[in-house]
Copies of this chain bind each other. A is one copy, B any other.
């Protein structure tokens, strides 16, 4: 192994998922590219999204108490990136995609995306430069073509990944093993060794 180097503190998550957050702002549908996102509570299912306070999308969420999270496929990279470049303040992004609705108007969703989450705002946290909006997932929508055995299949969804500050998009690669299972071999080995000693 090499020597550890201190590389400063402005470091991002490697890699980030890429989503399009849908809102209504001043009565118009808007979409913004968001990579700062996590599942934040197990039960009920909450999603958290981090957004700079100046963004037009932040205004929409605060005004209407809801948002959608849409996962674009890799072949949507051009339109996805476009939604991260131009602000809804300056350009109308409402016609870029086919829009559909679930339970309420505050969460416009993108038909072309393999996965859509419809979220009701539960809590807004304010940090120095960003909001963290926490939404309860009210419903999620997909299509038969993205499921295998009734479950979402990432190899069919083909979502995008993002790295910063090199600002690059990536696809998902190969299957690397079963979670909560691959590590069991280590547990068994350890157990065996302990029994031997």
The 6 lowest CB-CB distance pairs between A and B, nearest first, are A81-B183, A82-B183, A173-B173, A171-B173, A2-B143, A41-B127
Complex Cα distance, B15 from A171, in Å, reads 10
Partner-B contacts on A (CB < 8 A): 1-17, 36-48, 50, 52, 71, 74, 77-86, 91, 98, 100, 102, 111-112, 115-117, 125, 127-130, 132, 134, 136-145, 147, 151-154, 157, 159-187, 190
A85 CB → nearest B CB, Å: 5
How many copies of the chain does the oligomer comprise? Answer: 2
Interface contact B154-A10, CB-CB below 8 Å: no
Interface contact A168-B162, CB-CB below 8 Å: no
Task: Determine the chain B residues whose CB is within 8 A of the CB of A117 once the complex forms.
Answer: 11
Complex Cα distance, B182 from A163, in Å, reads 14
Most buried by B among A40, A43, A91: A40
Interface contact B169-A175, CB-CB below 8 Å: yes
Complex Cα distance, B170 from A174, in Å, reads 5
Task: Determine the chain B residues whose CB is within 8 A of the CB of A154 once the complex forms.
Answer: 14-15, 163, 166, 168, 170
Task: Determine the chain B residues whose CB is within 8 A of the CB of A82 once the complex forms.
Answer: 183-184, 186-187
A17 touching B13 in the complex, CB below 8 Å, given contacts A77-B176, A171-B174, A183-B81: yes
Complex Cα distance, B70 from A13, in Å, reads 10
Task: Determine the chain B residues whose CB is within 8 A of the CB of A43 once the complex forms.
Answer: 128-129
Task: Determine the chain B residues whose CB is within 8 A of the CB of A91 once the complex forms.
Answer: 190
Complex Cα distance, B102 from A41, in Å, reads 30
- Closest residue of chain B to A130 (Cβ to Cβ) is B41
A13 touching B40 in the complex, CB below 8 Å, given contacts A1-B111, A78-B182, A84-B180: no
